Amino acid sequence: MNNNYNVPAYLEQMAVALSQYLDSHQIEKPVMVGIHSAGVWLANVLHKKLKIEAPLAELNISFYRDDFSRIGLHPQIKPSKMPFSVENKHIILVDDVLYTGRTIRAAMNELFDYGRPASITLVVLIDRGGRELPISAHVVGFHQQLSPDSHFKLSDSETLELSIRHRDN
C-alpha cells in the first residue's frame, strides 16, 4: 500500500479541478467552509489558491454527529466559526476523508442551522469508499480503500503529512 502521499501536489490538482468545477457551474463568489480540524487545514490552502474573498469558515460538527451518544464528547470542543451568512451562498465544504458519509451529513445539518445555502460543493482529499449514506464528493484528491481497522491521519496544519494508522483492537 502506498504510504508516500504528496498532499501539496494533490491540493494543487484539487484547486485546478475545483476552479474548473466552479466555472462550469457558473458559480461566482463562493464561500469556503472547512470541517474541524483537518478539513480546515486543507480548506486554508485551497482558500488561498482560489483567492476566495470571503473569510474561511470552520465547522465543528461534534454536537451534530449521530454517534454522539456512543462515543461521547471530546473534552476540547472548539466552537464553529461562521463569519458570514450562508443564506443563498454557494458553499465549498472541505474535509480530509470521505468514508461513511456521516461526517458530511452532520456538517450539512449544521450548515442548514445557519441558513439555506444556494448550493454545497463537497471537496475531499481522500475518498476511501465504504459509504453508508448516499453522499459523494464533487472534487477528490485521490481514492483509496482501507480495511475497517485502519484510517488516514493528517499530521498538522503546517506539514500536512498523511499516514495510515491501524486501530488497536
For 19-46, write each residue's pLDDT tens digit.
Answer: 999 999 999 999 999 999 899 999 999 9
Which of 96, 111, 86 lies closest to 41 in space, CA to CA? Answer: 96
Q: Which uninterrupted H or E stretch holds 163?
A: strand 162-166
Q: Bridge partners of 121?
A: 92
- Give the fold, CATH level 3, of 7-64+83-156: Rossmann fold (3.40.50)
Cβ pair 96, 42 in contact under 8 A: yes
pLDDT digits (tens, 9 = 90+) for 145-169: 999 899 999 988 888 999 999 887 4
pTM over 0.75: yes
Residue 54 has pLDDT above 80, yes or no: yes
Question: Are 126 and 97 in contact, with CB atoms under 8 Å apart?
Answer: yes
